[in-house]
Structure 1
């Protein structure tokens, strides 16, 4: 159960759920949030036995709970997240870049595999977390935040202006992140007591960012994550449904 002994400590007032935490951006989110006062972090990973860095963090921080979740499986999400404590913040970070195929060679499988994790996984995670988010709002009078990790590669305006990779390639990934942005916008209209945002982490030096060693991204995870945390901390209710860069600038859909 996620309701650990840590949860009963009266000093713990903020529960933060972070998906896809075994490496990259998710691991850095966890590494930073566990150091915040009065914060309990619930971190998910597809395979905890392989999440060595996450397990090491757990040995050092009693305010960290690990939960095994496969975000490509709605059943896994619903089962694992059915007993959440009141939730102040959900970070939907889990995502994949299955291929970098462009329009001429992208396959139906590219789309379905990518959408299953990036879009359906995000949607089902929000559904599973909604009762806990609403509970935090009702019981603690706070306005919870759902931050969906998107990408400037999913910006239609960005593609038309050829801002990333000349607007070409990675069709399934780009389309999935455009869909995540629409999910954010719809959720903001349907759930007005919660702030929903899409965040662009920038081009970060992670396994995904390096594209299998093809690229050398300019941004370190610590800088990207500390930037996104600052954006989350400063959000105003009227910004719900919008898309922000890690440095706080608003991006075009």
Structure 2
């Protein structure tokens, strides 16, 4: 069964469509008979049924141009930002404060918080006025009230910042588009290259395939109402406290 809350032939855009989670979102949407068009945005061209658009995530003008090309003068009903980083060249989650470096912190913050905010800046004016959802991948470890273990300073801080940005964006968007939903969505621990180095401590049954996680997240996004805008939810639909 496909998404039920969006109109027939709804239009969807997935940013970060070349990643494990992004590609799975595109696959699910391509199999939904109600989805009229899927736009897959990534750093490199993609093959498949979706309309592929490339953009430079380090360039605000490139993001703006890509968003306008994705909308193509028509409203978008579902925009998903599936970008993010946890580790990369020269950085990984810090286990202690002594491991924190300025360069790594700024890079993680740029990718996990600033990039989704710039995508939102370029996209929210294209959201449909009757029913639309803008969602960005967040994480439970971005919750300040739920933090009992510490560590992972850059990643935690970037997701907490993302949650605040999404709340701000939701408040602003509601003034002009009261039917839009802006939300963070937590995918759980998904078997992708992002989580691969850290899968050893995942409880049995809690390491999800991209197909399963994105399918559950789409169910949650399908169910969200405007009064829930500005919040963060996990893959089961449970609200995550800030």
Q: Are 2:155 and 1:158 equivalent residues in the alignment?
A: no
Paired residues in the alignment total 220
Q: 1:180 aligns with which of 155, 162, 165?
A: 162
- Secondary structure, aligned partner of 1:36: coil
State the structure with bigger RCO (CA 8 A, min sep 6), 1 or 2.
2
The corresponding residue for 2:182 is 196
The C-alpha deviation readout for 1:157-212, integer Å capped at 9, x for no partner, is 221xx2xxxx2332111111001110111111111122111111001111111137
TM-score, reference length from structure 2: 0.85
Quote the Cα distance in structure 2 between the aligned partners of 1:43 and 1:243: 23
The corresponding residue for 1:33 is 29
1:72–1:120 CA contact under 8 A, matched in 2:
no
1:71–1:94 CA contact under 8 A, matched in 2:
no
Quote the Cα distance in structure 2 between the aligned partners of 1:230 and 1:118: 23
TM-score, reference length from structure 1: 0.81
- Secondary structure, aligned partner of 2:185: strand
The corresponding residue for 1:22 is 18
- Secondary structure, aligned partner of 1:87: coil
The corresponding residue for 1:104 is 98
- Secondary structure, aligned partner of 1:189: helix
Which structure: greater strand fraction?
Answer: 2
Query: Structure 2: 5+ residue runs without aligned partners?
Result: 1-6
Give 1:87-102 correspondences, 5 Å limit: 87-98=76-87, 99-101=92-94, 102=96
Q: How many angstroms does 1:66 deviate by?
A: 0.7
The corresponding residue for 1:121 is 115
Quote the Cα distance in structure 1 between the aligned partners of 2:15 and 2:154: 21
- Runs (4 or more) in structure 1 with deviation over 4 Å come to 212-217
In structure 2, the CA distance between the partners of 1:119 and 1:248, relative to structure 1 (3 Å rule), is: same
Moved more, 203-212 or 240-249: 203-212
- Secondary structure, aligned partner of 2:38: strand
The corresponding residue for 1:241 is 230
CA RMSD of superposed structures (Å): 1.9
2:80–2:136 CA contact under 8 A, matched in 1:
yes
Query: Structure 1: 5+ residue runs without aligned partners?
Result: 1-10, 49-53
Q: 2:135 aligns with which of 147, 152, 170?
A: 147
The corresponding residue for 1:251 is 240
